[in-house]
Structure 1
Amino acid sequence: MRYLAIDRIMSKDNLIESSARISKVLKKIISDRNELSAEESQKIDELEKDIIKESVFRLVSVRTPIEEFTPVKFDMIFDYENLNDTETVNLTVSHILLRNYYLMQFPLGHHCEIIVSFESGKPKLFEKLMTDDYDSIKIGFCNQSDWKNIKNQLMESKVEFEKWKIKQNIKKS
């Protein structure tokens, strides 16, 4: 099952604040360019241009459950709290940043910044995302072909979590 769990959107103001870090990442990569493949070098050039576009968003992906190379395409967004609330989109994850590293592939099990773009406007479900601050997982990205299995797995996980919470409360009593 391929999906990403997203907990926040990073504002353009935050981009200015974090630009020193991103710039440091890019400068390090650029200084090592002779070790980069042509594809990696091209991706760095794209990031420098993409990061300031209005149609591009920086998000935080939580405990990434996939290990795919960019670009990664998804065609659906879902509300993590209300799994019946979904939205059809044409979304591309084009860049991945993990702390001070630019990655060509998702890091399995890690939080990372992802740079995404949409063919048409900002999705409605983005309104659920906190800006710059962590709250909890709010939305997810997946493909419609995987949705039934993902939804079932997430529902089972929520039921198991509720059972666990009840057991914890009984033990405290």
Structure 2
Amino acid sequence: MTIPGIKIGSGYDVHRLVPDRKLIIGGVNIEFHLGLEGHSDADVLIHAVCDAVLGAAGLGDIGDHFPDTDQKYKGISSMTLLEICSAKLNKAGYEISNMDCIVFAQVPRISPYKKKMEANIARVLNMDSNLVNVKATTTEKLGFVGKEQGIAAQCTLLAISKTKIVK
């Protein structure tokens, strides 16, 4: 059964932890001795949000719109990419109702930054920050996250049509 005017978007991303890079997650610069490897600023959380936004609009994924082979995206702020994704969702006639995100990181501790991440995402998406939820968890030392080799993020969101459905 299809419910007109409601779409779900889901996004997931992962980046390797490396030396000599800033660690930016959710638009927050986190003091840490390692950063995330990537073509842009490698903001793993915002990349997951971008994929969820694009998915809700039925517009593919972040790699389709911002390929890492294109030098114009080299070092770009992922918040800028999110602004573009948001505009694409709006052009498709949808707005975000709410979102739930998870950051998977053994290190560093993410909890002190969650509210600022929520506020950053909400600001770019022009929505109330209480509609954006960011959670953080470790993987109990299991897998690449648990071995402190990388950080992953996931986002699920609900998008609703900006036009009224008339029966």
Q: What TM-score, normalized by structure 2, do the two folds share?
A: 0.24
Greater fraction helix: 1
Normalising to structure 1: TM-score of the pair?
0.23
Larger radius of gyration: 1
